[in-house]
Each structure stands twice: as C-alpha cells, then as structure tokens.
Structure 1
Amino acid sequence: MATRHLYVVRHGAADPFGELTVTGERQSHLLGERLARLPIDTVWHSPLARAVATARILGEHLPNATVAEAAELADHVPHVPEVMPAAWAGFFDGFDAAEAAAGARLAEALVSRFARPAETESHEVLVTHAYQVAWLVRDALDAPPARWLAMSCGNTALTVIQQRTGTPPTLVLYNDMSHLPEDLRWTGFGPGTRP
C-alpha cells in the first residue's frame, strides 16, 4: 500500500512586508538540513513571497526535489464559524459572506489536492501558512471545522501527515521544532510561556 508522506511547514519568520527575515532564512536552512535525510520528491509552496523564499532555501538542501507553486497553499481563512467564539470576534469583524465563501472554496481545494492518498509512494513538502497547517491537521483528525481556530504553529515547525488508501490519515508530528535552537523556536506565536 502506497503512503503519501506530507511534511507540512509554515514558512520562515517574515517581516511585516512578507519577506523572510535573517531569522527566517536561518530557520529555513535548518529545516532543509533536517529534510535532506528524507527522500523528498517535491517541495510545493504558496505563491506568497515568504513561502517562495522558504521553498527556495529548502530546494538548496534537496537537489533531487522539484520545487513548484501550488495556489491551494495560499494564506487564507479556511472557515468562519457560524457561532463565533468571543475571543475571535475581533479577528472576524468585518469579514463578509463573500470572503468567507472564497476561503471555504480554497480550503476545499487544499484538502482535495493534498489530503488524500497518492497512487505511488511519495514524500512531499508543503510550505504554507499557519491557518493552512491547522486546516490540514484538523482534516487529518476529522475534527469539527471550527477546531482550526485553536491550533497554531511556529515558523518552520514540522508537521507530518501520512495518507494511505483505506485507512484514516495518520498525524505523525505536529509543530515539531527540534531542528531549531531554542532562540529560533516559537516565532510566529504571540507572547506567552513556552515549554
């Protein structure tokens, strides 16, 4: 039975203009060194600059992998809950029905393309954004749509999902930052105590 190995990562740390910072570049190189031990076939990336730059750096460490854009990995809000958690009301303030519908369509396209088994064994890196990582994890766990709101991930943190025909997806790792030294972990999160 073929397994589709998805190595899902959030792009490296970026500045307010969406460009990788020096920290983001270092994070990306360290992730590339970790992934270089694996038989990666393809590095798919979002069309946004921070993901493109991260994928380019990963490609330097994965010379046998194809690096290509996948529009489904673009940053978007995948689901707007009908009953809004109070903590998220400000975030969704001003979100209209058209934006919510467009996000739902992109989320469905993301799942349709990547959250399914492949015909042959494959090892694919998906360089995307925090919301898309959360959406793919939520999908793998068959959790209710609003559960994506409670998940986040650090820059270049590694999440591994395996897809096989006839079985539910397997969540192997979530938000693993063991390839990063302590000073490069937890970027992309708000303030708070970290383990």
Structure 2
Amino acid sequence: MATRHLYLARHGAADAFGELTDVGRTQADLLGERLAALPVDAVWHSPLPRAAASARVIGTHLPAVPVAEAAELVDHVPFVPSGPDLPPAWAGFFDGFDDAERAPGERLAAALVERFARTADVETHEVLVTHAFQVAWLVRHALDAPPARWLGLNSGNAALTVIEYRDGLPPTVVLFNDMGHLSGDLRWTGFPPSVRP
C-alpha cells in the first residue's frame, strides 16, 4: 500500500516585512539537515518570500530534489468561526471579517486539502513549507476535527509536523510541532510569549 508522507513546516522566523531573518535562515538550515536523510521527492512552498526563502535553504540539503511553488500553501485564514464556535479570545482577530473575506479563504483551504491531504498512487515524501494557519488546517483535517479547531494549533518557525496518508485508513499525525532539530534559543519563535517547557 502506497503512503503519502507530508512533512509540514512553518517558514523560518521573518521580519515585519515578511523577509527571512538570520535566525530564520539558521532554523531552515537545521530543518534541511534533519530532512536530508529522508527520501524526499519534492519541496513545495508558499508563494510568500519567507516561505520561498526557507524552502530554498532546505533545498540545499536535498540535492536534485525539485523546489517549487504551490499556490495552495499561501498564508490565509482557512475558516472563520461564528457563534458558539468562536472563542471569545479570538473575537477581536476576526472582527470585521465578512462573507467576501470568508469565501476566498475557504476556497483556498479546500484547494489545499484537495491537492495535498490525500493518498498518492506511489509512495511519496513531500516537504511543504507554508504558514502556521495552513499547518493547523491540515492537522485539523487529518484528525477529522470540526473546522473551528484549527484555532490554537500553533506551529513554531521551522517546526516539523508529519502526516501520513494511506488508502482505506484515516490519516496519521505522526509528529506535531517538533522542534528537536533546533537549539533552545531557536525554539518557540512565532508563538505568543508565555512559559515554555
């Protein structure tokens, strides 16, 4: 039975303009070292500069592996909860979202799932360099959780999440937000400040 292995990573740390920082490049480099031992077939990245730059750094550790853009990986809000599904702590974030803003995000989220969250005809190992919301959406989908459950599934910069897809079986979340390849000073970037384990 062929398995599709998705290695999901949020881009490395970026500045306020969305450009990869020196810390972000180091994070991506360490993630590339970690992935180098795997039989990676492709590296896909969001069109945004911080993800594209991270993918290029990761790609230096994967000779002859194609690194290409996938529009479905772009940063977007995949689902806007409402009513009882909207946690009060998130109300301010979604304030002002209307149907004109919701619909494109939901279409992109559906396209992301359609392209990547399924089995393949042959065994594949693909790296997806994307954004926190997209990692959360794919994890939520793999767990068959309600749409609003993508909220709060935070991913650190260059953290690794792995999902496997097999015919006839539900998806398997193998790892979530693993930062074992990063030194202590490079972990937890991209998260709000709080006590860390």
TM range (shorter): over 0.9
Separation of aligned partners in 1, 2:156 and 2:79: 21
Q: Which residue of 1 aligns with 2:112?
A: 110
Deviation, structure 1 residue 33:
0.3
Letter in 2 for 1:105: R
Secondary structure in structure 2 of the residue aligned to 1:27: helix
Ranges in structure 1 where 5+ consecutive residues have no aligned partner: none
Of 173, 184, 187, which aligns to 2:186?
184
Give the alignment's TM-score, normalised by structure 1.
0.99
| Matched positions, count | 195
Separation of aligned partners in 1, 2:87 and 2:29: 37
Separation of aligned partners in 2, 1:180 and 1:171: 21
Separation of aligned partners in 2, 1:95 and 1:65: 39
Q: Which residue of 2 aligns with 1:68?
A: 68
Give the root-mean-square deviation of aligned CA atoms.
0.5
Q: Which residue of 2 aligns with 1:18?
A: 18
CA contact (8 A) 1:138 1:145 kept: yes
Secondary structure in structure 2 of the residue aligned to 1:150: coil
Separation of aligned partners in 2, 1:160 and 1:62: 18
Separation of aligned partners in 2, 1:98 and 1:159: 31
Of 78, 100, 103, which aligns to 1:101?
103
Deviation, structure 1 residue 82:
2.1
**CA deviations over 1:70-106 (Å, ceiling 9, x no partner):** 0000000000012222101110111111111110000
Separation of aligned partners in 2, 1:26 and 1:150: 26
Letter in 2 for 1:59: G
Letter in 2 for 1:17: F
Q: Which residue of 1 aligns with 2:127?
A: 125
Separation of aligned partners in 2, 1:80 and 1:29: 34
Pairs within 5 Å for 1:27-106: 27-83=27-83, 84-106=86-108
Secondary structure in structure 2 of the residue aligned to 1:113: helix
Ranges in structure 2 where 5+ consecutive residues have no aligned partner: none
Letter in 2 for 1:149: L
Instruction: Please identify runs of 4+ aligned residues in structure 1 that moved more than 6 A.
Output: none
Separation of aligned partners in 2, 1:121 and 1:113: 16
Separation of aligned partners in 1, 2:96 and 2:161: 31
Secondary structure in structure 2 of the residue aligned to 1:172: strand
Deviation, structure 1 residue 24:
0.1
**CA deviations over 1:121-163 (Å, ceiling 9, x no partner):** 0000000000000000000000000000021110000000000
Letter in 2 for 1:38: L
Separation of aligned partners in 1, 2:96 and 2:61: 42
Secondary structure in structure 1 of the residue aligned to 2:5: strand
